[in-house]
Structure formats: structure tokens, C-alpha cells
Structure 1
Amino acid sequence: MGTRDEILAAASRIMREQGYARATTKEIARAAGYSEATLYKHFADKTEIFLGVLSEQLPALGALLTELAEDAGKGTVRANLVKVARAALDFYVASFPISASLFSTSDLRTKHRDAVRERGVGPRNPQRMLSRYLRAEQRLGRLPRATDVDAMAALLLGACFQQAFLISFEGEPPAPDELDALAKSLVKPLLR
């Protein structure tokens, strides 16, 4: 594991324990065993560290969505959406402790939102990526033309987000087989 990976691993631990708002770059660097100067050789700011944690330390929702959009027509749409739902549940459950504190003040939320937008990323990306995949499946005739793929993407990821919130709030994560069953149940009403 290299310096960058060690910093991200430490940031992930600290942000899960304290949330984004309370985690400092000084504390992250110390937990990783490096100076703050070393941290800034690898990351421009705390937002960049946060984005690295989301993309490299948490379950890989973005990578799955990219892969599906590129490989539309493979597997069944139902099986692919169940995979998405399962990955989204894992990602959102893992990210709640980190990102919930972004809403603690409007100034923090605004500053973070602006920094994320500046980088061309943000919480809408998974929905856009899922819509892209569903649109590709629609072009292949595997989804009805009348399907509102943007609404379908929003409904699935929104349901996963809500369930992840409840899981995080309750503090008792379900067993993997229960999450598998939940993922299937969230997809079922979308494909009748």
C-alpha cells in the first residue's frame, strides 16, 4: 500500500468515526503516519480526500454503473438492477457516517457542493449513470420504449438511499443475505 492509499484508508476510518465536518487533514495525516505536508502532496484539499474515499475506499457503485453502461445487453436487466441495488445499499450504508455531517451547517454544505461541482462530480452522478445504462437497454429493446428511465433510476437509487438511511439510523446492519433479498425486493416493482 502506497502513501496515497494509506492516507485514504486513514481518512476513511476517521470520517466514518467523526464525519466529514469534524475530520481534519491534520488528524488524517497523523493517523496515516505522515505529515500534513505529505498529505497535500497527494491531495489538493479535504474535498479531494473525501472524493478519493468515496471512489476508492467504499463499495464500488460508480465502477459497476460504468461497466453496465458499457456492457448493456449482457445478463438480464433484472439481474443487473439487483446488482446495482445491492451495490447502492452497500455504498450508501458505508457513506452515511461520512457524509451526513455535510448537512450540519448551510455554509459547510454550500462550500462542499461548490467544490464537488467544480470537479464535475456529485451525488447525482450514480442516477445519471444508471439512466444511461437503462437508456442503452431501451435502445436494445430490452426495456419498453414507454419506460421513463430517468424516473426508474431515481426510484431505485432513492429507495436504496432510504433503506441505507434506515439501516444506518437503526445501527444494526442486516446480514448479507438479508441485503440480497432487500435488493431483489426493491427492483421487483420496477420490472413488471
Structure 2
Amino acid sequence: MERTARVRILDAAHQLMLTVGLARATTKEIAKAAGCSEAALYKYFPSKEELFIHVLGERLPQLTPLLRSLVAEPGRGTLEENLTAIARQAALFYEQSFPIAASLYAEQGLKKRHDNAMRTMGSGPHKPIEGLDAYLRAEQDAGRIRPGADTFAAASLLLGACAQRAFAYEASPTGERPPVDDFAARLARTLLSGISVADGSA
């Protein structure tokens, strides 16, 4: 079955953003790789920033749906299981999104324009922190996290560590990232030791 133009554009954008970075992946090159005109690309995606958001949302591991489902049902599962699942998904998301977005940091003017576009669309890298903070506050209200615990700081610590895993280990002796499952479990246990009411098994 032939792929639709929209799917071809997303596939081409994902591949180009991975190989040359977001800054150098022009809509012209994306359209060419997708086998369509630039006008056709803009029919589906009004801007490169919107195309980037759809690549993140449709081609990379998903974190936001997991956070939303947990916020909707605080008390489901154990805290350790939930935070391990969040850390695993976040680590995979940052691992795959970092090569795409890294080129933005090479040119401050481009990054500023990109940030402004993300702000206009109500998106940006702060959103997962807000989502995890909302989940932790819901668990706090349910009595599974200490009343005085700083949920925003806890969310920032967990997701910051997941983002660090994406690029901080390339200069290590092995040049390899910590295995994602072990990394996520250890991160969740360590975070819980500082914020949970008991041991996170509630």
C-alpha cells in the first residue's frame, strides 16, 4: 500500500533531522526527500516547527500520553513502577530527540526563533517537566508522596538525568550509555528515597 504524502513527509523529516539536525533540515530538502513539492509539505505542516512537533509526537517514544494517563489515575500501580516507566520512556525520548535538536544550540538566533515558535504553539521542552510535576502532585494529594516534598524539583531531577543520559556518556571509557532499563529503575528508586511517604510500594 502506497504511503500517503503526509506519512512520506514525516518519514523524510525524521530521517533528515536525525542525520543533519533540525537547523539544516530545510523544508525544501524534506519535500525533495519525500517526493513532493514544498507547497504540498506546507499543506500538511504550516511551518518547520510544527513539522518538528509532529516528528516528536509521531516518530519518537511517547512520554506525554503516559504522564496524562497517570495524572488521571493517581494511586494506580506502585510509585516505583510508575516512575521507572516514566524514566525509561523519557530516557528513550531524549536519546532519540537530542541528535535532532542539538544543532539549534550552534546558532543562538535560530534557537531563539525556534523557542518563540514553540511558545506560540504551546509546546517546548518544559512540557514534560510540567506533566511529571502534575503527576507527582496528584500522588502527593493521594498521600503517597510526602506533603513537604518539592514535586517540581523532583520532576526536574528525574527528567534532567534522562536528558543527561542522551549525551553525557560519549566521552566515557566505553562510550556507551547506561542500559536504559537498569538506569530507569535505579533513578526511580533513588528519587523515591527522597520524596515517598514510605518505600514507594504503596
Q: What range describes the TM-score normalised by the shorter chain of this pair? A: over 0.9
Whole-angstrom CA distance in 2 between matches of 1:158 and 1:49: 25
**Aligned partner letter, 1:69:** V
Q: Could you tell me which of 75, 86, 89 is aligned with 1:87?
A: 89
**Aligned partner letter, 1:105:** E
Whole-angstrom CA distance in 1 between matches of 2:131 and 2:92: 17
| Residues 129-140 of structure 1 aligned to structure 2 (within 5 Å) | 129-140=131-142
| Residues 135-146 of structure 1 aligned to structure 2 (within 5 Å) | 135-146=137-148
| Residues 60-79 of structure 1 aligned to structure 2 (within 5 Å) | 60-79=62-81
Match of 1:187 in 2: 188
User: CA offset at residue 33 of structure 1?
Assistant: 1.5
Structure with higher Rg: it is: 2
Match of 2:61 in 1: 59
Whole-angstrom CA distance in 2 between matches of 1:164 and 1:133: 23
| Residues 20-169 of structure 1 aligned to structure 2 (within 5 Å) | 20-167=22-169
User: CA offset at residue 166 of structure 1?
Assistant: 2.2
Question: Runs of 5+ in structure 1 lacking a partner?
Answer: none
User: CA offset at residue 52 of structure 1?
Assistant: 0.7
Q: Deviations over 1:26-83 (max 9, x none)?
A: 1111111211111010011111111111111111011211121112211111110000
Q: Could you say if the C-alpha distance between residues 130 and 141 of structure 1 is closer, same or farther in structure 2, counting changes exceeding 3 Å? A: same
CA-atom RMSD in angstroms: 1.7
4+ long deviations beyond 4 Å: 167-175
Q: Give the TM-score taking structure 1 as reference length.
A: 0.93
Count of aligned pairs? 190
Asked if 2 retains the 8 angstrom alpha-carbon contact of 1:96 and 1:168, the reply is no
User: CA offset at residue 5 of structure 1?
Assistant: 2.1
Q: Give the TM-score taking structure 2 as reference length.
A: 0.89
Percent identical pairs in the alignment equals 47
User: CA offset at residue 101 of structure 1?
Assistant: 0.6
Whole-angstrom CA distance in 2 between matches of 1:168 and 1:27: 29
Asked if 2 retains the 8 angstrom alpha-carbon contact of 1:102 and 1:109, the reply is yes
Match of 1:4 in 2: 6
Q: Deviations over 1:5-37 (max 9, x none)?
A: 221111000000000000011111111121111
User: CA offset at residue 174 of structure 1?
Assistant: 5.0
Q: Could you say if the C-alpha distance between residues 132 and 80 of structure 1 is closer, same or farther in structure 2, counting changes exceeding 3 Å? A: same
Query: Where is the helix percentage greater, Structure 1 or Structure 2?
Result: 1
Asked if 1 retains the 8 angstrom alpha-carbon contact of 2:166 and 2:177, the reply is no
